[in-house]
Structure 1
Amino acid sequence: MTHDPDRASPIKGLNGRMLMAAVVSAISGLLYGYDTGIISGALLQIAKEFHIGDTMKEAIAAGILLGAVIGSLACSLLCERFGRHRTILLVCVVFIAGSLTCSFAPSAVTLALARVLLGFAVGGATQTVPMYVAELAPRTIRGRLVLCFQLAIGVGIVIATIVGASEAVSWRAAIGAAAVPALVMLLGQLRLPESPRWLVERGRVDEAERVLEDVRPDGYDIAPELEEIVELAGHQERTGRRDRGWSGLRQPWVRPALVVGCGIAVFTQLSGIEMIIYYAPTILTDNGFPTADALRISVALGVTYLVMMVVGLWIVDKVGRRRLTLVMVPGAALSLFALGAFFVTGHSTRADVPGIVACLIAFMFFNAGGLQLMGWLTGSEIYPLAMRAAATSVQSATLWSTNLLITLTLLTMISAFGVGQVFWIYGLFNVAAWLFVWRRMPELTGHSLEDIERHLKNGKFHPGDFART
């Protein structure tokens, strides 16, 4: 049995280049969280400046989500043709351009269109960056490195909620400031290599070997890892082009991975996270809460999200993806059921604030520390190399489309059914998410990307087919 040097200690699987990749991933996640969250507070100022109504507010808020769907689909084609590295460089440039265009928008319509451009970068980052980091990382720390992206989303959300709660920063400065971390991300990515797996797929094995040597610590034996990648790429070459890219997604053996990936993407949104992040202040103020209290609660929720991202970052590779999700989802469901009960029974007065806040924070604790961790992590791991870019783009577009649907329908649902009943509906979505994970999601912790692909090819992609290694 070949010695695997990163088995001894996870820290030994990390060197300077891999750390830089984690930093780039973190910045892209921060931009995602900040750019999607900052509009909530900024809309108050934007509405006054441009004298717009609810319809244009929704268009401005939803523009980034529409752009994200487009970006996630388009960047899959760019990833396959030009590589992960150059695609991420393009995403960085679009982040900068989108942020500045939004900041200097002369009208509400221009701002809505600029938000679509910014959304292209957000969607492209979610499709490309986690996949790129997963393809660079040693398997024993892959989960934690990919989750740097998810962790930074929480940082971005917290910063956005604090800026929004202060109401002291101009919306143009708040949105335009995102160009600074985007520039830092661009400079960092310029120092990073192409994905070794993409290089092998293109027949550039010598370059892939140099990349692996560059991103692994001194003394790391890359031969077994490179051999495994080359062997799998050779098998894919023999299968022909029908098994590659978008056309490869039609292969029956790929379907279980698509079902798991897209199912997780849908349930991360239907779990209620977007409802809480985007609309918690609106829901609370509409039910008699003072605006200042609602904004402070929003900050507390953002901080809870961030803390649970940190916890998840450190334990996911130890506890396991599937096990952690199954443990945490029931807590999120019960929190929403209890929260709904406060409103349905009329216990939503100022005297009930502690109980309502406790339910909101409990929901964020269980949701952010479980299901939310899996949204981008599973997509970076479960798909075959030959169609990974196309499959991750489908998963990313599924997530963003679900997000867009929720954003455009949530307030209408509350008006039709009542706020408490809507919390119950989302609680039921969490029950459905738990059943889905229990029945369909295998435990991927400790398995290399190539081992996961072999399970998929052999038709052994159910929870009972994977043993912890």
Structure 2
Amino acid sequence: MQKAENISSYVIFLSVVAALGGFLFGYDTAVISGTVSQVTSQFGLTTLQSGWYVGCALIGSISGVLFAGALSDYFGRKKTMLLSAVLFTTSALGCAVAPDFNQLVIWRIVGGVGIGIVSIVCPLYISEISPASHRGRMVSLYQLAVTVGFLGAYLANYYLLNFSTGFTSSNSILHQIFGTEIWRGMLGVETIPAMMFFIIIFFIPESPRWLIVKGKDETASGILSKIYTKASEVSFQINETKQMLESDVKSDWKLLLTPGIFRAVLIGCAIAILGQFMGVNAVLYYGPSIFETSGLSSGDSLFYQSLIGLVNMGTTVLALLIIDKVGRKKLVYIGVSGMIVSLILIGIYFLKGESLGMSSIFLLGCFLAYIFFTAGSISAVIFVFLSEMYPTRIRGLAMSIAGFSLWVGTYLIGQLTPWMLENATPAGTFFLFAFMCIPYMLIVWKLMPETAGKSLEDIERFWLKKK
């Protein structure tokens, strides 16, 4: 196990920059929730078309995930992040001015590709530049940025909806974007953080572990000397990485199919896809619509969704502070148990709430509790787990495979949630989410190692022994 190393301001800076990709992920994912009813009404969409509007970006995300790992392994983590920034910027501008529903879908898919890329390369980059003793906390900065993006989207939707009622402009395009069709403004505002992300990436170096893989030891040593205070630690990191590379004599695909590593990939895929069927993205995508079914107005539902975003962000801060001390697995045990209880209570509300005299405040409390337990457990650990489970040589490729599973599950939830709410009823939908929590907890309990405090090379050795 690697000795504890004090975290430097340089590592924090690099992690924050990479985490900005998470903000764009969160904003692009959550902004859709405030536009569904408007877009559905304007274009006369059916239930399935409405689901396609939400889910189309996830098709892009799946595509982005599929080649993100290979791109980052070949071109480097930094250049791949730059590509994602370009995709986010063009998507936001395209959505703001899309003349019809088909073009809106195309630009949403472009943004989805950006989401897929950052979901792989940003946590991967952070894990590779962070000391083992603080790696969970640093990678969790990415998830924190995702929740800040969620909250930013909810607040922007709420503000822009109110702003649009009194907005007038002699410019017809501005009047359309920020007045009569405010969903365009909600989607288009993402241009600002996307351009900021593009610019600031130029101020960070390439991942030192990737440089070592490419034989650029001298450049990697210079970067590592800014991360670690002791020269001996720099030499240790370089030697550890080179030692594991020398033992990985197989090709990338053959190494991926090594029994122990293949086991890790399967486990990563399982927890990635199961996490999506535990309801969190259904709440984040369709929260306003779900609240409206309980009798709230669209304005109140957006306000409630903003509260959910605030709890999501605040709880992620708490998880970030304790993940390296408490450990990944214990957070899952506590959090998923709380998720099950919260989901069952939400199901009871929709099943018997009216006869039991339950108010919408009770529903809000259950949703906030659910988000609290989710943000403090599976949302906090998933990208940490995936970014540290695999060997350096194929980390991007293996993360792409696990990430593909995650986005397939997210797409299915995005597409099926409207259908489930309509046909399985809200109660049945949330009872199903509660049931899906059980296999997730069992997999983490029985098959996952505790990775807190271990070097990436130590984790790789663990999986290679599991043949």
| TM-score, length of structure 1 as denominator length | 0.90
Distance in 2, matches of 1:176 and 1:291, equals 21
TM-superposed CA distance for 1:284, in Å, is: 2.5
Task: Spell out the pairing of 1:167-182 with structure 2 (5 A cutoff).
Answer: 167=161, 168=163, 169=178, 170-182=182-194
User: Which shifted more, 86-95 or 131-140?
Assistant: 86-95
Deviations 1:397-422 (A, max 9, x none): 11111011011112212222221122
Distance in 2, matches of 1:334 and 1:54, equals 30
Question: Are residues 1:375 and 2:382 paired?
Answer: yes
Deviations 1:214-273 (A, max 9, x none): 33347773121221111111222xx232xx1x4432221212211221122112211110
Distance in 1, matches of 2:80 and 2:19, equals 17
Other structure's SS at 2:461 match? helix
Task: Spell out the pairing of 1:117-128 with structure 2 (5 A cutoff).
Answer: 117-128=110-121
TM-superposed CA distance for 1:72, in Å, is: 0.7
Q: Is the 8 A contact 1:342 1:356 kept in 2?
A: yes
When residues 442 and 347 of structure 1 are mapped into structure 2, their CA distance, relative to the original with a 3 A threshold, is: farther
Q: Name the residue aligned to 2:414.
A: 407
Distance in 1, matches of 2:42 and 2:295, equals 26
Q: Name the residue aligned to 2:9.
A: 15
TM-superposed CA distance for 1:360, in Å, is: 1.1
Q: Name the residue aligned to 2:166.
A: none
Deviations 1:256-302 (A, max 9, x none): 21122112211221111012112222123224333333222211111
Q: Name the residue aligned to 1:297.
A: 304
Distance in 1, matches of 2:456 and 2:197, equals 26
Name the aligned partner's letter for residue 274 of structure 1.
N
Name the aligned partner's letter for residue 233 of structure 1.
L
2:126 to 120, 130, 133: 133
Task: Spell out the pairing of 1:385-396 with structure 2 (5 A cutoff).
Answer: 385-396=392-403
Distance in 1, matches of 2:151 and 2:232, equals 38
Q: Name the residue aligned to 1:76.
A: 69
Q: Name the residue aligned to 1:453.
A: 460
Distance in 2, matches of 1:350 and 1:165, equals 29
Distance in 2, matches of 1:183 and 1:84, equals 18
| TM-score, length of structure 2 as denominator length | 0.91
Q: Is the 8 A contact 1:13 1:217 kept in 2?
A: no
Distance in 1, matches of 2:316 and 2:41, equals 35
Distance in 2, matches of 1:307 and 1:215, equals 28
TM-superposed CA distance for 1:337, in Å, is: 1.0
Q: Is the 8 A contact 1:151 1:309 kept in 2?
A: yes
- Structure 2, unaligned stretches of length 5 or more? 164-177
Q: Is the 8 A contact 2:19 2:122 kept in 1?
A: no
Q: Name the residue aligned to 1:215.
A: 227
Name the aligned partner's letter for residue 134 of structure 2.
I
Identity of aligned residues (%): 30
Deviations 1:417-463 (A, max 9, x none): 22112211111111222222111121000000000001111228xxx
Q: Name the residue aligned to 1:152.
A: 145
Task: Spell out the pairing of 1:175-324 with structure 2 (5 A cutoff).
Answer: 175-217=187-229, 221-236=233-248, 239-241=249-251, 244=252, 246-324=253-331
Other structure's SS at 1:191 match? coil
Q: Is the 8 A contact 1:154 1:305 kept in 2?
A: yes
Distance in 2, matches of 1:89 and 1:295, equals 32
TM-superposed CA distance for 1:67, in Å, is: 0.3
Distance in 1, matches of 2:369 and 2:424, equals 24
Distance in 2, matches of 1:156 and 1:267, equals 23
Distance in 1, matches of 2:373 and 2:308, equals 12
Name the aligned partner's letter for residue 236 of structure 2.
P
TM-superposed CA distance for 1:158, in Å, is: 0.9
- Structure 1, unaligned stretches of length 5 or more? 461-469
Aligned residues: 448
Distance in 1, matches of 2:198 and 2:139, equals 18
